[in-house]
Amino acid sequence: MDRSFVMIKPDGVQRGLGGEIISRLEAKGLKLVAARFEILPEARVTEQYKEHLAKPFFPGLKVYIMGGPVFLMVWEGRNVVSIVRKVIGATNPQEAMPGTIRGDFGIDIGRNVIHASDSQKSADREIAIHFRPSELTTYTRIDESVLYEY
């Protein structure tokens, strides 16, 4: 099974959307294998967003991401990266379809509720930034036999 990194951002946490987001991903059939609630330290924010360090929006992004608690998660499932991206919707909430997390709960691109890896390579990198291998749980969901054709 593949794994993907998902982070409920400070605006999602402040608005109490964690339960709804987790419910949507679980209802889709994905498996939560790691989670942690914390305020991110600067070093991990810098590593998470290193491709944006030179961009003019990075200082504001850093203040925002470090300005409140986030909920970090690792989700597992077949083709999980693309499935999560579809469930959360377009990066810009104004372009996200109704029924997606950003389409239903976001308004502004700078406060778009949630982050998710955009490729398996990014997922592997982001998971390694935030979780040690020993923090990732392995188990079988009781409904896996009806979720997947083996």
d(CA 146, CA 15): 34
**Pick from 123, 139, 125: which is nearest to 31 by CA?**
139
| Active site members | 115
What CATH number was assigned to the domain covering residues 2-140? 3.30.70.141
Q: What is the mean pLDDT of the chain?
A: 97
The model's pLDDT over 94-150, given as tens digits with 9 standing for 90+, comes to: 999 999 999 999 999 999 999 999 999 999 999 999 999 999 999 999 999 999 987
- Cα 131 to Cα 40, 54, 110, 123: the distances in Å are 12, 26, 25, 12
φ, ψ of residue 77 in degrees (nearest 5) = 165, 165
Quote the pTM value: 0.95
